[in-house]
Amino acid sequence: MTHNLIRKLLIIGLCSLFSAAATAQTFIFTAIPDEDETKLVERFRGIADYLSEELDADVKYIPVKSYAAAVSAFRNNQVQLAWFGGLSGVQARSLVPGSQAIAQGTEDQAFYVYFIAHESTGLDRQDSLPEDVRGKTFTFGSKGSTSGRLIPEYHIRETFGEAPEDVFSRVGYSGNHTRTLRLVESGTYEVGAMNFAVWEKELENGNIDTDAVKVIWKTPGFPNYQWSIRGDVDENYGEGFTGRVREALLSLDDPELLESFPRSDFIPASNDDYEPIRKVAKEIGIID
Amino acid sequence: MLSYPTVRTSLIFLAIALVGLLFADIAITANNPWRDLGNFFLGVLTPNFFSSEGLLTALLRTVAFAFVGVTVGGVCGFFLALVYRFLPVRVFCAFIRAIHELFWALIFLQFFGFHPLTGVLAIAIPYSGIFAKVYSEILEEADPEPGRLLPPGTGTIAAFLYTRIPDCWVQLRTYTAYRLECGLRSSAILGFVGLPTLGFYLETSFSQGMYSDAGAMLILFYVLIATIPLWVRPKLLPVYIVGAPFFLGDGLPIVWGNVERFFTEDIVPSPLRDGEGLAGLLPWLNELMIEQALPGIWNTVVLTQIALVATGILTLLAFPLISNHFGGPIRRTSGHIFLVIARSTPEYILAYILLQLWGPSMLPAVVALALHNGGIIGHLIGRQTNTIRLRSDAPKGFNRYSWELVPRIYRSFLAFLFYRWEIIMRETAILGILGIYTLGFYVDSAIQSIRFDQAMVLILITAMLNIGVDILGRYIRRKLALQTMPTC
């Protein structure tokens, strides 16, 4: 009797382990972890609720711990939609045939990187990357970030003609933009590069000690974040699903949700918009 | 004194570590490390147990992954132990245990994604290799005499079950229980790469400086480990083992096509994938070796040697804390608490905390490795000194320490230290994920740029390095005639 019960439980256990939650047709999305996770979870749960309503489908957000994990989940069809940065979007779409960029923020057409410095460096704002950053300690954001890695590295190489490791006395990867801000603000690193939108939002919310850290250079603009969707969602979620997701994102006008990104609104995007990012990434050798 | 081989060996290792220090990157780069450290301890003293709705679920998942992983690993390891005398089995086991749980998790994440199987296999695979080795060592030491007394014609299985197992049952049980504790630690840190265990929330709260939340999680984790004897009861074990798979969570469904793709495309070196053939493979390997593998190996070895010696020094300083030969019950109790905390905190979490507080360099890693491993060995050595009986007129204080106790425990101290050499190196490599430039840094970078072919080569190199150190460690232990029981 007990044996039978244990056997049954075991079988159920194994089955549930392997077949997993075949929660048929939940539409799942993720986002690159570019900021403090608490904020991301709050923001994207809001998006999930909004999309559930608009699409009349079960929509779920899952948080991930790295940019690569977001790309892999998209590639493996464990998520069907993702809020990527420029670089992670290029990487992800090149791995998933038929996938496309469907929407970006107005601000993402021309996005900027701020180089920031701790007050102890004595550096001031300039029109180009100051030569004096040489020899300082420097932190990127995540290794796979566009505004935290790709674009700053590109400009460092342009300015100095050398790899970042040769320009700075110490090079680190903070993990995300909020961390970069905190690390430079506290002086753990003397110089850092981060997403301008995160800076502006934190500044507005009064979360930056402007006596300790300041912007020393703003890069020229480049295309950045976008919503990318897999090519096979129409097949799996019904004809025209991609179009409906795009419509829902473009018509998002909840000021609180938009503010949390922060974006003024979402506009259409295409894969070609990100060609400059692909070229730069290839030039630096981040993608093959 | 120099005529003692143990002393000579110790001095050689000390010298290597000192030379390593010249090349190592040791610094506190944070501007105000003590304020941060203070904030952290304040957080531990003012824990917030209600921060995250997911905290209890995370704790449950941590336990569930540990149970399923250790059970699967234990069963597989036991069967492997029965055939451990065959060289291919030994090589296979050495290989799977040379790759750290976190590396396994990073590999499985690429094709199973956030499915519970990722976490289960990440624990079960390396643990199978470890169980196989230790179980076979235990079984080998079983007294052969009872087996010889059996009547002819007794079946092999019956003979095994009735003569070998009873003789080493206690040791098997003790070791398995110890591994379960390790499993809880492994399970917790898997959260750092995205599995739904404690590390997931710990990373979140730490990286955002929410020390009270992080403090609460650490306290819950210590309580979980310290109360193992209370809640892990032989009679309850079947319930846990059968029940655990139900509490792993759903994760996301596996898409089997991804598995095939991973093995037939992703990990194939890119020159071969692009049809450049062997002519392209050599330059590719060459570049990988020079730019990533060699700097990674160098930093891993330097950090390992420094951490090994630091562990040794800390052990020698720490064991008197719990030894009956010094101090009163109050000091011993606080000593016990210190050592329990030091050894229950996974070194990955310790290193993560210290890196956040002191800024990036090898220093946080050295301190973390020394604290964790010194905590483990210090505990074992301290307990061992309690079995030593000194003459009633034995010297007191420092003389007792240096002339009576240290010489008596020095051989087993070295044995434990060399036993953990390989473990320290495995951990050193993995700490690279946190940003110290050891092999793990390059593995993580390759994965972050979706170059699994490079990541796999680097992981293989890491495994080879571990196997090499394991062999060297065993050679030295044999040369010095040091013996360890497989309890550490």
Question: What residues in B contact A36, CB-CB < 8 Å?
Answer: 207-208
For B426, the domain range is: 1-31+287-387+394-488
DSSP H helices in A133-185: 151-160, 164-167, 177-185
CA-closest candidate to residue A70, choices B166, B435, B180, B194: B194
- Peptide bond between residue A262 and the one before it cis (omega within 30 degrees of 0): yes
Q: How, if at all, do strands A266-268 and A113-118 pair?
A: unpaired
User: Does B146 lie in the same domain as B246?
Assistant: yes
A142 touches chain B (CB under 8 A): yes
User: Does A228 lie in the same domain as A195?
Assistant: no
**Cα A11 from Cα A128, distance rounded (Å):** 65
What digits encode the pLDDT tens for the residues B197-213?
999 999 888 888 888 99
In a domain, B21, yes or no: yes
Chain A contact probe: residue of B256, B433, B450, B452 with most A CBs at under 10 A:
B450
Question: Around Cβ B279, how many Cβ atoms within 10 Å?
Answer: 8
Judged by DSSP in three states, A117 sits in strand
CA A164 to chain CA centroid, Å, is 22
Question: What residues in A contact B36, CB-CB < 8 Å?
Answer: 186
Where does a domain end: B231, B266, B301?
B266
**Cα A226 from Cα A240, distance rounded (Å):** 20
B75 touches chain A (CB under 8 A): no
User: Does A132 lie in the same domain as A91?
Assistant: no
Using CB atoms, which residue from A64, A66, A76 is nearest to B255?
A: A76
Specify the number of domains making up chain A: 2
Residue A25 region by backbone torsions, left for phi larger than 0, else alpha for psi between -120 and 50, else beta: left
User: Does A234 lie in the same domain as A98?
Assistant: yes
The reported pLDDT for the residue numbered A19 is 42
User: Does B140 lie in the same domain as B240?
Assistant: yes
Using CB atoms, which residue from A12, A17, A62 is nearest to B117?
A: A17
CA-closest candidate to residue B383, choices B437, B340, B425: B340
Residues 6+ apart with CB under 8 A from A258: A252, A264, A265
Domain of A237: which CATH number? 3.40.190.10
**Cα B431 from Cα B348, distance rounded (Å):** 7
Where does a domain end: A164, A197, A218?
A218
Residues 6+ apart with CB under 8 A from A68: A144, B447, B448, B449, B450
Question: What residues in A contact B270, CB-CB < 8 Å?
Answer: 288
Q: Write the DSSP string, B174-199.
A: HHHHHHHHHHHHHHHHHGGGT-SSHH
The reported pLDDT for the residue numbered A16 is 46
Task: Give the type of residue at B348.
Answer: Y
Q: Is A78 in contact with B238 (Cβ distance < 8 A)? A: no
Question: What residues in A contact B114, CB-CB < 8 Å?
Answer: 62, 64, 73, 78
The pair phi, psi for residue B378, each rounded to 5°, is: -60, -40
User: Any idea what DSSP says for residue A219?
Assistant: P
The reported pLDDT for the residue numbered A234 is 95
CA distances from A196 to A17, B234, B483, B486 (A): 44, 58, 60, 55
For residue B375, give both structure tokens. Answer: 């905590």
Question: What residues in A contact B266, CB-CB < 8 Å?
Answer: none
A287 touches chain B (CB under 8 A): yes
| Contacting B residues, span 252-291, partner chain A, CB-CB under 8 Å | 252-255, 258, 270
Question: Around Cβ B211, how many Cβ atoms within 10 Å?
Answer: 25
The residue with tokens 């709705």 is B53
**Cα B400 from Cα B413, distance rounded (Å):** 17
User: Does A275 lie in the same domain as A260?
Assistant: yes
In a domain, A11, yes or no: no
Judged by DSSP in three states, A130 sits in coil
**With a cut of 70, which residues of chain B have pLDDT below it?**
52, 484-488
**With a cut of 70, which residues of chain A have pLDDT below it?**
1-24
| Bridge partner residues of A114 (DSSP) | A194, A218
In a domain, B279, yes or no: no
Q: Write the DSSP string, B303-367.
A: HHHHHHHHHHHHHHHHGGGG-TTSS-HHHHHHHHHHHHHHHHS-HHHHHHHHHHHH-SSHHHHHH
**Cα B487 from Cα B138, distance rounded (Å):** 10
Question: What residues in B contact A78, CB-CB < 8 Å?
Answer: 113-114, 252-253, 255
Where does a domain end: A195, A218, A241?
A218
For A67, the domain range is: 21-109+223-284
Q: Is A288 in contact with B258 (Cβ distance < 8 A)? A: no
| Contacting A residues, span 259-278, partner chain B, CB-CB under 8 Å | none
Determine the residue of chain A that is closest to B266 in CA distance: A95
User: Does A210 lie in the same domain as A118?
Assistant: yes
Q: Is A287 in contact with B449 (Cβ distance < 8 A)? A: yes
Cα(first)–Cα(last) distance of chain A, in Å?
Answer: 61
What digits encode the pLDDT tens for the residues A198-234?
999 999 999 999 999 999 999 999 999 999 999 999 9
CA B456 to chain CA centroid, Å, is 21
Q: Is B31 in contact with A187 (Cβ distance < 8 A)? A: yes
**Cα B104 from Cα B262, distance rounded (Å):** 14
The reported pLDDT for the residue numbered B252 is 83
User: Does A117 lie in the same domain as A259?
Assistant: no
The residue with tokens 């018509």 is A251
The reported pLDDT for the residue numbered B223 is 92
The reported pLDDT for the residue numbered A22 is 40
For residue B142, give both structure tokens. Answer: 């079983």
**Cα B281 from Cα B426, distance rounded (Å):** 28
